[in-house]
Amino acid sequence: MDGVMAKSTCFDLKQTPLRQVNQFLHHQVNPADSVTILNPDGAHNLAVGLDLPIAVEIHGHAGYYAAGMNKQARVIIHGNVGTGVAENMMSGRVQVKGFASASAGASAHGGLLVIDGDAGLRCGISLKGGDIVVGGSVGSFTAFMAQAGRIVVCGNAGDAIGDSLYEAVLYVRGEIKSLGADAQFEPMAEADYATVADLLDKAGFSHDPQEFKRIASAKQLYHWNVDANQEY
């Protein structure tokens, strides 16, 4: 905002109620402001629904839906997170310096989610256009019904990765326990190597893009097939 100086604010959740912190983030900050949150102690719904290009740093572990519905903001969590971090993110960047539980980045439409450690089950479920980069491994059913967007996994993947994929594309560096229904390996093209290199660079990882495998939809589930007798 023109004519308004950026400011930095710090909250300690041992002293300030979470509701008050979220109200401040929604109504009392200006673009380019920064906010630090101390002692979250696993609190749920931290920094949700942000809609300004502000910077938020959470020092400690967060509970469910941290940075959910994020738009424009840059959120860094110096700890682990519970279910649904960056759920339904529209834009901006969310980075988890630790591990993430189930459904990280669920239904994200845009923006970038970076998880330095491992992610649990259903990472990127119903992804709708966002990008997710996981420094470690991911659990089963990662990218289940992912419709658009890209997921880069620097470690291994559990069972049924990419089950019922649509247009999302997955890149996995490590071992894959099994592919989900209608997911298939495809050759890496130069554009894929460039995509992986770009996302790794944005996430701060230095792996060789040549080490990654591409997984995409075989497109056999796009249309109902009456002859399949409901067996796929």
For the chain, the structural domain boundaries read 1-73, 102-225
The closest of 165, 112, 115 to 137, measured between CA atoms, is 115
The pLDDT score that the predictor gives to residue 3 is: 55
Segment among 42-51, 67-76, 167-176, 221-230 with least mean pLDDT: 221-230
> What is the number of residues in the chain?
232
Torsion from C-alpha of 112, 115, 119, 125, nearest 10 degrees: 0
Q: 3-state DSSP call for residue 201?
A: helix
CA pair distance 140, 2, nearest whole angstrom: 47
User: What pLDDT score does 221 carry?
Assistant: 83
CB burial of residue 232 (10 Å; 0-12, 13-18, 19+): exposed
- Rounded to whole angstroms, how far apart are CA atoms 125 and 142? 6
Strand, helix or coil for residue 226: helix
Q: 14 near 39, Cβ under 8 Å?
A: yes
* CA-wise closest residue to 217 among 181, 176, 178, 165: 165
For residues 205-226, give the mean pLDDT: 89
Name the band, by pLDDT with cuts 50, 70 and 90, for residue 2: low
Report, as an integer, the average pLDDT of 205-223: 93
Q: For 66-70, 125-129, 222-226, which range has the lowest pLDDT when averaged over its residues? A: 222-226
The structure's pTM equals: 0.94
Asked if the model's pLDDT at residue 156 lies above 70, the reply is yes
Sign of CA dihedral 100, 98, 50, 165: negative
Task: State pLDDT tens for residues 82-125.
Answer: 999 999 999 999 999 999 999 999 999 999 999 999 999 999 99
Percent of all residues in the chain with a pLDDT value above 90, rounded to a whole number: 92
Q: Taking residues 25-36, report their average pLDDT.
A: 95
Q: Report percent pLDDT > 70 for the chain.
A: 94
